Copies of this chain bind each other. A is one copy, B any other.
Amino acid sequence: MSSKIRLGILGGGGDSLIGVLHRVASAMYDQYQIVGGVFNPVWEENIDFAKQIDIPTNRIYIDFDALIEEELKLPEDERMQVVSVLTPNFLHFPMAKKLLENGFNVICEKPMTMSYKEAKILESTLQKSGALFAITYTYTGYPMIRQMREMIADGAIGKVQKIDAQYYQGWINPIIHDAEKRANTWRLNPEKGGISCCIGDIGTHAFDMIEYVTQLKVGKVLADLNYVYEDNQMDVDGTVLIRCTNGVKGVIRTSQIATGEENNFTVQIYGEKAGLKWEQENPNYLYLLEDGQPLRVLKPGHDYNSKLSLEGSKMPPGHPEGIFDSMGNIYKGIAKAIKGESYNYGEFPTMIDGVRGMNFIERVVESHKKGNVWVNIDE
């Protein structure tokens, strides 16, 4: 009998990038075995793909409901221990909810739900279930982000006094200026994408990251979004002034029309003693700026890093690891939790991150629609 965690997967079949990311991540530390799932809504594509990745025929399910029904019939020590939900956004909520209700641990892609209301329901479902829930804000798994969090917690920069996060992409630029294209892009369709495109997709990463590294809570927001065209229903750019509950000010800047940008997500946190900076596109460098001192550049795998950071790199310094390794670290943390081992709260994002993320999205849109005014985020 395998000692690995039995993992089921919903979605992620065919050429799905998110599917590759989760499969590789689950393999990184020899902790999981993918035992079954529904990889594609079309049966033939589902079965073809499942065979390709060696899923035994009896655990390739025709749909989500069948998966739950059949898995529950299996003895507990054969049943899936956790299910990764990689389906389109609108399916996250119903799937995660039913999984939790039936006692399955859940790993859920972001955004967790389509609305804050759904998020609150899911939170309450989780509380009743006793199961485990993780949401894959991938970037929190980077070793130097973990290092940033722990350095701030340890007082390396003193009390935080200034926050600045940027998430700039350019991929909507070729779409937004073409009326037909913008009408036919699902991300710009509120029925499929929810109430926000740019804030929903990438602003939430920035928001979650700020709370992750500082362990502060954002208390209110004032947002100026950009829809570019009148007929466009979803924001593709937006700047959000933030205020933490302890009064610290900051800004979140997001764009999908920053032409030519790829995935330029940066975090700058300044404290009373020093500053820390990080860029997702060069994730293995953490910059420590201290007044009157040479700039210091921390890198993964060195003894000067925290235990949490060091656990996130597999190779010695100078052997760059990337986004797959970051997601692998999140899966590693979840494995510890599933196995009942002790783990650091910073090892993977949870329901709290998911709920706050949905609240953030709705409050930002509210702030914008009310004319760029301050709106509170629930504690």
Interface residues of A (CB under 8 A from B): 2-4, 17, 20-21, 23-24, 27-28, 30, 33, 51-54, 157-158, 161-162, 164, 166, 168-170, 173-174, 177, 222, 224, 226, 228, 237, 239, 241, 249, 251, 253, 255, 257-264, 268, 270-275, 280-284, 288-299, 302-304, 314-325, 328, 372, 374
Residue of A17, A253, A298, A304 contacting most chain B CB atoms (<10 Å): A253
Chain B residues, CB < 8 A from A323: 315, 319-321
Look across to chain B and name the residue whose beta carbon is closest to the beta carbon of A271.
Answer: B259
- CB of B53 within 8 A of CB of A30, answer yes
In the complex, the chain B residue whose C-beta lies closest to that of A265 is: B318
State how many copies of this chain the complex holds.
Answer: 4
In the complex, what residue of chain B is closest to A276 when comparing beta carbons?
A: B260
Question: B33 and A24: CB pair below 8 A?
Answer: no
Rounded to whole Å, the gap between the CB of A56 and the closest CB of chain B is 10
Contact B241 A314 (CB under 8 A): no
Complex CA–CA separation, A60 to B185 (angstroms): 52
* Across the A-B interface, the 6 shortest Cβ-Cβ residue pairs: A260-B289, A263-B318, A262-B318, A322-B322, A27-B27, A294-B296
Partner of A249, one of B173, B226, B325: B226
Given A17-B314, A170-B291, A294-B299, A162 and B321 contact (CB-CB distance below 8 Å) = no
